[in-house]
């Protein structure tokens, strides 16, 4: 199975930005990402605009997509209502989130783990009914900002239940960037052995500088699908202390230089990073982009 990098900058990357980014600028960033070769892109989140104002234009963003160009677009949905909104736009791939931590779930979505699980099942069943794909992000897979480290057995049990219920994929998600390479290996290897690489995604944050090491450990365990965010944009609005996702350009550089081709042009990502910096008024870019810019 080839490496798949799922670009989440337009959703996970922007959702926590204090400066609202216009629909036109989101679409311009999308174009730059596609020019660099990114084929899998999460474009929006169908949440209530009061909860995440940056995602208030989800329908408008999707309305301008070209669904005939071979790209794979996805949207995040919090529940069945969000799914109905997303499905009405023509999207056919959806991400949904539940936590491995009961405290995180109760504080941020005001649901117990079982209530959150049932909400996920509602969306999974709707996707199965409609012929759409579902990916469940298991947040706090490595650690919770309130409970500390989460036991691997809890995460694995939850992942297996979701896959057995019909989720197309689960994503082991280190929401606050507190995981370790060995932890990622222990979480992903058993799932890949039982379900295959096409059903396991890895989503890590670089809060403590270990994101690339965790990605590489996941790769050695058999993971072939990874989330990343252009320029390292990101951070969960509901997770205290969480910083950006692993930078897309760092992931692409590491894999390409290791002979594991992504079919993404590393240098062509620089205009996307620059544009993201412009519209967010933030200094962005992974270590590899700092190196590339120093050569110019």
* 13-42: pLDDT as tens digits: 999 898 999 999 999 999 999 999 999 999
8 A C-beta contact, residue 10 and residue 245: no
DSSP secondary structure string, 144-193? ETTTEEPPHHHHHHHHHHHHHTT-SEEEEEETTS---HHHHHHHHHHHHH
Nearest to 276 by CA among 226, 232, 237: 232
Predicted confidence at residue 285, as pLDDT, reads 84
The pLDDT assigned to 241 comes to 54
Our answer to whether residue 236 is catalytic in this structure is yes
Output the CATH code of domain 4-295: 3.20.20.70
Given this model, what pLDDT does residue 239 score? 57
Taking residue 192's Cβ as centre, other Cβ atoms within 10 Å add up to 17
Q: Helix, strand, coil proportions of the chain in percent (round to 5)?
A: 45, 20, 35
For helices 152-164 and 113-130, angle between their N-to-C axes, nearest 10 degrees = 30
Give the model's pLDDT for residue 240. 56
Q: Which of these is catalytic: 127, 140, 236, 296?
A: 236
One digit per residue, the tens of pLDDT, for the chain of length 296 reads 899 999 999 999 999 898 999 999 999 999 999 999 999 999 999 999 998 999 999 999 999 999 888 999 999 999 999 999 999 999 999 999 999 999 998 887 888 999 999 999 999 999 999 999 999 999 999 999 999 999 999 999 999 999 999 999 999 999 999 999 999 999 999 999 999 999 999 999 999 999 999 999 999 999 999 999 999 998 665 555 556 899 999 999 999 999 998 999 999 999 999 999 999 998 898 899 989 999 76
Question: What pLDDT, on the 0 to 100 scale, is given for residue 272?
Answer: 97
pTM: 0.95
Contact predicate 148/177, CB 8 Å: no
The pLDDT value given to residue 110: 84
How confident is the model at residue 107, as a pLDDT?
85
The residues, any chain, with a CB within 8 Å of residue 66's CB and separated by 6 or more, are none
């Amino acid at each position: 199975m080839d490496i798949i990098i799922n670009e989440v900058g337009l959703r996970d990357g922007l959702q926590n930005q204090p400066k609202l980014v216009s629909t036109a600028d989101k679409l311009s960033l999308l174009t730059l990402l596609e020019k660099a070769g990114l084929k899998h892109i999460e474009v929006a989140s169908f949440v209530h605009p009061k909860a995440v104002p940056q995602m208030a234009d989800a329908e408008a963003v999707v309305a301008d997509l070209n669904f005939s160009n071979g790209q794979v677009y996805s949207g995040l949905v919090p529940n069945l209502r969000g799914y109905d909104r997303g499905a009405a736009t023509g999207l056919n791939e959806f991400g949904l989130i539940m936590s491995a931590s009961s405290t995180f779930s109760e504080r941020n979505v005001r649901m117990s783990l079982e209530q959150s699980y049932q909400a996920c099942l509602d969306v999974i069943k709707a996707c199965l009914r409609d012929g759409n794909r579902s990916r469940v992000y298991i947040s706090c897979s490595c650690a919770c900002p309130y409970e500390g480290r989460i036991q691997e057995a809890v995460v694995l049990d939850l992942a297996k239940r979701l896959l057995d219920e019909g989720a197309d994929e689960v994503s082991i998600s280190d929401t606050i960037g507190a995981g370790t390479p060995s932890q990622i290996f222990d979480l992903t290897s058993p799932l890949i052995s039982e379900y295959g690489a096409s059903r396991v995604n890895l989503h890590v944050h670089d809060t403590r500088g270990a994101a690339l090491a965790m990605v590489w450990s996941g790769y050695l365990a058999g993971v072939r699908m990874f989330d990343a965010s252009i320029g390292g944009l990101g951070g969960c609005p509901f997770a205290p202390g969480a910083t950006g996702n692993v930078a897309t350009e760092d992931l692409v550089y590491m894999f390409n230089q290791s002979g594991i081709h992504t079919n993404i042009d590393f240098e062509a990502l620089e205009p996307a990073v620059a544009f993201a910096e412009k519209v967010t008024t933030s200094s962005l870019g992974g270590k590899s982009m700092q190196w590339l810019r120093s050569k110019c």
